[in-house]
Structure formats: C-alpha cells, structure tokens
Structure 1
Amino acid sequence: MSNPRWKRRPHGSTWGDWGPDDQLGRLNLLTPEKVKQGVAEVKDGLSFCLSLPLDYPGGNLLNPRRHPPVIKPTERSRQPNMNYALFCDDPNLTDVVCDDVVILTLQYSTQWDSLSHVGQMFDADGDGKPEAVYYNGYRAGIDILGPAEMPKEPDTGNPHGQSTSRATKLGVENMAAKAIQGRGVLIDLHAHFGRERKLVGYDDLMRVMEKDNVVVESGDMALFHTGFAAMLLEMERNPDKDKLHGACSVLNGRDQKLLKWITDSGVVSMIADNYAVEAHPAEPGEGCCSMLPLHEHCLFKLGVNLGEIWYLTELADYLRKNKRNRFLLTAPPLRLPGAVGSPATPVATV
C-alpha cells in the first residue's frame, strides 16, 4: 500500500486505511452507531464537567514552555473595554460593556493532542533516509509549517500579530468538525492503586478491567482516572513538581502488549487526568526509540487522539458508586484552523 506522500508506512500503522488523504485516523470509527451507543448510556440525565479551570496547574513548572492564560480587555477609543460606559461616547446611552482577549497556551491545561502534535523521523520514501513525517505521511515543512516555512502574510492590521506556524493538514479543526461525541468508558486506576506512582502495563490494566467489568469496544473512547488532576486542584495553582512527578498511575508506553491492546481494541481516543497519559519520559528503551512511545503509537501510527489533564474524579466517584463505567462523552476542541492542540471542556452525561 502506498500513496503520493509515502512508499512505505510504519509497521502496524493505519496509514491509508481510510484513504490517501485521511486526516481523522481512528475518529473514522466514531460513527452514528457509536453516537447512539453513547446516548443509550444516559440513564440519569446528569452531566459532569471534565475540564479543570484553564489556569490550572498554575505556573510553568510542569512544562517550562507552557504558561497560564493571560486575559486582558480589548480597547475602545484607546481605553480598556472593561466596564466601559458607552455614555462616555453618547450621553443618551446607558450601556456598560466588557470585551476581552486571551493569550492562551493551547495545551497548558485540559487539552486534546491533534495528530499533528507528534511525528517521527521515519523513512516514508523508502530511500534509506528518514524524514520528519506525521500520521498518514504528512510532512514537516510542507503540511506542518514552522516559522521558517510560513509564507509571508499580508498585513491584516491585527494588533496581536500574524500566524508564525500552522498545521495545514492534521490540524485540530478536523477534530472539531467531527464533533467528538460518542461512548466513553472509564477505567479507574486510582480505585486500585491510589496515588502511589504506578507504571501500568497490559497485565495490570487487564486485571483492573476484569475486576471492574470494563469492556472497551471498537469506536469507544477510553478514559483513565488516576487522581492526578484532583491533586492539581488541591495545590491551588502552586504545583509541587517533585510531588506530582512521583505520583499516580501512568501507562507504560514501552509495554508492547499494551500497545497491541490499543491496536486490537479499536479504541478511538486515549484520555487521562494526568500529564501525558503515559510515563514522561518513558522507561529507557533499547537503541534509538521514541521518548514517548505511546504518543508515537497512537498519534503517529494509529491516528488515535490523546486527551490529557482532564478532570475525572467526580465522574469516577459517581460511576463507581452506581457500578457503571460507560457514559455519553461530548468533547470537541476549539475549531481553530492550523493549531496542533486545543483546550477542551468535555462533558460526560450519565
């Protein structure tokens, strides 16, 4: 199998399975039937917000490149447009208005990873030389553009500047247009391992799922509750980096049996309330390998989106009390063309 962008695809990947120009990956399995299965899980009509406040975790200790949002007013008549009295311009008016702008690091808090978030050096051309490529063979410098590759844009008068990067393919807007609604399945690792640091592999995962009667089927979205996000809330925007990096369950991305389960299960998305779903960085591997092997397997090979730092504790407590693990999940990202990730305000309806 090949297409105009590649002559060979990674072993075990889904490249080309949904056509040569596919940008959705496993989201193609989120069919109308899967949406109806999610709706069928609504028994009590209760909804849970699965997002942290977007100014959590606080500071930038967890990731020095990512900073809390900055909110400030737009300007009107060269004045801050906050509690702005329109009667300053016209004495016959009574309105007082507010209007603001945010500078937002898109993957600072509760977030989605798009398929353009992580690529790999891989010999897609078959010429013996690896090149930087992403899911389905989309190319760095051609389809995913950094500042050096961006064409010069006309001056639009935007006071906040012009775009200096853009994913022209695999951007998060593809996820938004798909809408991301279907059946979520929660796997409660915290209920079994507490807040101790636990590297969870396939065998551990299967034991937890068997004890809790959890079944993940093709087209489902799998959510892993570890308690990490609840710890962030307790730290009140002043995270303890050492404490957090030594706490709670993380998936073992080096476990080949676990990666095979992700492949065989047909899961659409892997979502957790922790920092990276998997251990970050992963356990040492032999030879040249990915620092984040679960990211490589999901985003690069399979087209499985990852959700990180979701807030799952209240939902997990409710589901465990009611001996359930399935629900309707609605979780579109921002429809922001060209972005590689996005905040989300997911909703679980039970």
Structure 2
Amino acid sequence: MSEAEVRSYFDQLSNWGRWGEDDQLGTLNLIDDAKRLQAASAVRSGRGIGCARTLSPVRSESNPQPILHHMTVSGEGAAQTGFAAAADWVGFDFHGYAVTHIDAPSHVFWDGKMFNGRPASTVRTASGARAGSVELARDGIVSRGVLLDFPRHRGVAYLDPGDPIHADELVACAESAGVTIESGDIVLVYVGRDARARDKGVTYPEEHGSPGLHASTLPLLRKWDVAVVGSDAANDVMPSGVDSIATPIHAVGMVALGLWLIDNAYLEDLSEACAEASRWTFQFTIAPLRFKNATGSAVNPIAVL
C-alpha cells in the first residue's frame, strides 16, 4: 500500500468523537454488560488457559531486557519455629517484544495527537499519562475471545518473519473456523512465534522482521468493531511495506480507532486447546494492573473454554 493510502485511514476510519468529545476508552466502549454476558455463555468446559509469557530475571535471546527481581526478605534467615515470610521487589519495562502487555491509548501518537485529538504533551515525563492511561481499564476487560490460527489455516507450522496477513485472509481464516467476528470481540491473531523460535531460533522484529497484520486489515478491523486485537507477536507485520509508517496497526489502530492492543501474548496452549475442542471462541479476561498515569500494563490474559 502507498503511504498516502494508509495516511488516509486516519480520517476515513476515525472514531474521534464517536463516543463523545471527552471519551478516552476508545474501542472498550464496545464491550457492555450484554457483551460480557455473551462471553460468559461461551464457556463450555470451564478450562482456563493463561496467555502470558513468563516474566524472568534471566537475560536470554528471547528476554533481552529481563525484569529486575530482588528479594527484600528471604527464607534463609527464617526462624525455625513460628511464623516467617519472604517478600519481593520487581521492576520491568513492559513495552517491547518480551513481556505480554496491553497498550493503552496514551502509548501511541500521530501528528502530535493521541486518540480523540488529545495532544501528545498530555503524557509528561514528570507525571505520566494524564489522559488515556491504562487505569481506564480498572474494572478489567471481559469479552468474547476469538482465536484466528493462521499457521493452521495455511497448513504450516508457523509464519515466518515478514509474512503479512491481509484483510481477505482475515476473513477466510474466520470463515474456515466457522466464526463470525462481532462488535466488541477480542480477536487474537496466532502466528506461531514460539513454535518457530523452537525450530529456528529467536528473531528480533526490528532486525529480522515479524509476521503480523498488514495495513490493509485496518478497514476490516473498523468494520468489525473489535474491542481489542492481540497477537503472540507485535501485531504489525514488520517491515510494514509502507514508507514512513513502520507500525500501521499501532499508529492508525490506536490513534484513529482508539483500538487497544495486546502484544507478545503466549498462544501456544490456547491454539492446541482450541484445536482439540474444535472451537475457536471463549471467554477472555484481561486484568491490567491499576497503574496511575501509565501507558499500558503487563497482563496475564485468561481464556476460559
């Protein structure tokens, strides 16, 4: 796609003002009580599956910025009789490609603006995100989840770096799974990141590329009115193929649509479970930490089949 085409999406697909001039929730407005009840009705077996990557203090190829984990109290000096306890201190940078996290509207700007026209300067060094903060999701995000398994759809073990997923394939994958995407759904795009890493080693998106959604999917995401999009990679195909717009799903999706994104989910177990059950919908719960003035949060999303 040309840069001009993708730039036109900022106006064509915009949700600015759709839920009022003061709105900060963006596409989370699409999840109401009826949608949460629908999500509950999607539960059949009650099987719960965590969809987060392990937070590790050990540096590795797949964890280049490990968390900082210190024991403030350990069991090494615990009394041999009576009560004792241990305690931890943890610090981490959750944006990037190692930690499963959700991006809040304050995370991305275009032309100096975040979603609904608020200036980028609303996010300040001293005080953080004074609008569009992750605390907007303080009551949790619960909706119907839909897994789109692209390796299974293509008949391969995994997608390779740089493999794009176009709009027509999004539609075809949903149809082959017998799923109709509905307003307020949480759509999870499985590309087989971890399966490929086991076979061919770890790759770095900005260096080697990454499979993901092509810019051409943006009108479809707007048409479907999805509330959240997530992936076991970083959502955007890299390279994007669009001059000067490295991550159109983040840029247009977050700024114009007000779309919330989950990056770096762990979807191997969910993919296997859905295939075993021949069912690709479930209740999906995301519980961001209630950070004050933050651009996102590490999360451990839970699918209940």
Q: Is the TM-score greater than 0.5?
A: yes
For 2:144 and 2:293, how far apart are their aligned partners in 1?
A: 27
Match of 1:220 in 2: 185
Per-residue CA deviation, residues 293-322 of structure 1 (Å, 9 max, x unaligned), is 111221100111011111112212221222
- Structure 1: any 5+ residue segments left out of the alignment? 1-8, 75-80, 122-131, 151-164
- Aligned-residue identity in percent: 27
Per-residue CA deviation, residues 5-35 of structure 1 (Å, 9 max, x unaligned), is xxxx844311111122111101011101110
User: Does the alignment pair 1:101 with 2:81?
Assistant: no
For 2:108 and 2:60, how far apart are their aligned partners in 1?
A: 24
1:95-244 aligned within 5 A: 95-107=83-95, 108-121=98-111, 132-141=112-121, 143-146=122-125, 150=126, 165-175=127-137, 177-193=138-154, 194=156, 195-197=158-160, 198-232=163-197, 234=198, 239-241=202-204
More helix by share: 2
Question: Would the aligned equivalents of 1:84 and 1:97 in 2 still touch at CA under 8 Å?
Answer: no
Per-residue CA deviation, residues 147-203 of structure 1 (Å, 9 max, x unaligned), is xxx2xxxxxxxxxxxxxx50011111112x141011001111121233242211012
1:1-350 aligned within 5 A: 10-55=11-56, 58-59=59-60, 67-74=65-72, 81-83=73-75, 85=77, 94-107=82-95, 108-121=98-111, 132-141=112-121, 143-146=122-125, 150=126, 165-175=127-137, 177-193=138-154, 194=156, 195-197=158-160, 198-232=163-197, 234=198, 239-241=202-204, 245=208, 249-253=211-215, 255=216, 258-274=217-233, 276-285=234-243, 289-350=244-305
> Aligned partner of 1:27: which letter?
L
Using the TM superposition, name which of 104-113 and 339-348 deviates more.
Answer: 104-113
* Residues paired across the two proteins, number: 288
Per-residue CA deviation, residues 16-65 of structure 1 (Å, 9 max, x unaligned), is 11122111101011101110111001010110011110239954778xxx
- Give the 3 Å change call, closer, same or farther, for CA 279–334 of structure 1 in structure 2: same
Question: Would the aligned equivalents of 1:114 and 1:171 in 2 still touch at CA under 8 Å?
Answer: yes
Question: Would the aligned equivalents of 2:145 and 2:188 in 1 still touch at CA under 8 Å?
Answer: yes
For 1:33 and 1:57, how far apart are their aligned partners in 2?
A: 43
- Structure 2: any 5+ residue segments left out of the alignment? 1-9
For 2:38 and 2:261, how far apart are their aligned partners in 1?
A: 21
For 1:246 and 1:292, how far apart are their aligned partners in 2?
A: 12
Question: Would the aligned equivalents of 1:168 and 1:338 in 2 still touch at CA under 8 Å?
Answer: yes
